[in-house]
Structure 1
């Protein structure tokens, strides 16, 4: 039995089977490449679902983490620490907002946004107690907590976890008529992904996000943008909302904010919205800890130059041009996405998404399937054009049989 086989068998025996990972056991990684326990190298075209936007082992981020590790890593929010004020200031400035509420994971940030919207609705908007409604989109993915899966339309994420949390209305993604019909005087927020990642990198119709922004503004409803996967450079802009000149009331951030080193998430908004919280009403032991703040501050500084956004835009244009050329045959049915982010629908005749991913892995490329036949591409923003082209060559070879 090889070292990989042993590690996989042991994991299967001792860990819950809530994931079905590809049969590769990573030991080291740098930039856009990962190496398994046998020394085989793989091109990473998933980047931890955008958590690794700046690549594996980014020197600037590692240096920031190491320096902070030598000083202080955790105080809890019972005390101030010397990185917290800078973190909140810089993240707020990056978003063009006024206040930040830090958490750890993306799901925690979405839960926090839901609580924020409800509390704002009761205290500021004047919605009757326990009547607040939040409108969400079908095929969404905002996390896996009990409340979040309560408004999921994915049977795998939702089945056998009831009773579910009430207070949500689901409308089709991109359907403005359905969105407008769902809004009532008790609606406190609309929660959307500007691009739906888990659903297959679905980009809404042009004009949809600006129209939702207009409707929510007219009706005194918060527009909350879940930019956990789409934000922080992935689409060629700092935020995916920027492609349509939309500024939401609330940004929900995560993944890349932690640089692929530590979990960092945040809800970012105005003083009117986040000002509804009083001491003791919400919190997190690790949220906004010194180590997280140090890494996130470096992430923000890296984004302020615009070089990563530009790189994602330029390489993304190349990625979509090359993938789009594959739709001329019978193997690729459709390609969607923006920047260095793409969903590729493979014809079922060529195999399931899982089968294609496994064949790509055999050729040294790591991607991930979703919803049966869709393959997602989300390489680190630091990937070279040569490496990206090599990865695309492997896809062509797999599809050629």
Structure 2
């Protein structure tokens, strides 16, 4: 029997050892390798408020990744988010939205998201990830760099591996985050409203001035002015018993079941996004379930104050779509999206083909959006049915 065991693969010998006890052998398989364990311990032993220090030099220097090995680190990140983000009124969009005393820990959050993204990009078994509730807070940030980092991390989580489509690969869902993704992916509005993705991208990509005016006087035309006027106008329907104060009655149309917040030229307002949000919450009694959508409309409208900010929000719009289209449980959101944007795939193709007028960053993002659609189309019959609702036959969209 000893000779027979010596000829067996080492893994089987481990299972047969220890008097037949399987527990220790299985535990060995789930324990992180020494190098990974040393890094995780280094981060955990560091004071929580200084978490960015050990994370700053992180690079992927490991072999094929297993997400289970990194779970202790992600649980530590969960502790950080619960400690420093979960009680922030600005991220919760509470009535006390402006009453946070401590500044947002941007540097630490960006470092955490960068490390999370790197690990997720290099690991399998990602379906056990369970920290999505924190991303609802992060996506409520008014800092576009935080938004981009959060969306890139989510993209790494849900990314479909083509080599796994016919094997053990699974699409990962984003749960309640999907409604937030839909709001962000809708951008400035629909093509029907004159604010299609392509026209907004072209307008901002061809404008290099970073001043307050989106379109400098020497390149302004009637189309530019019209688009700027529409894009910087806040129009938001508040269903329910929303009413405005007398001071704002000129900006809201009330009925028994519908209030409409209508504010033009938000890009010229001196108030920042949160102050504008606070004003709307107080004057129009916006219920909590509508506040993220309202904040998103405010963020996009105020982005017109600068071409640079508009370009960042173009990336946010594309990234949100990339995550949404690959999220396994976003069926209803995607049906709603394509009902309003049936030509979205054509818009992406136009961006990719506009080599001279669109920057490489935006064109790359549009190509990734097309690739995400193709991967989702191939991975799920239900997703293929939804994507077929676009005005182009997706099977022939990418050559």
Shared fold (TM-score, shorter chain, > 0.5): no
Determine which structure has more spread, i.e. the larger CA radius of gyration: 2
TM-score (norm 2): 0.25
RCO greater where, 1 or 2, for CA within 8 Å and sep 6 or more?
Answer: 1
TM-score (norm 1): 0.25
Q: Which has the higher strand share?
A: 1
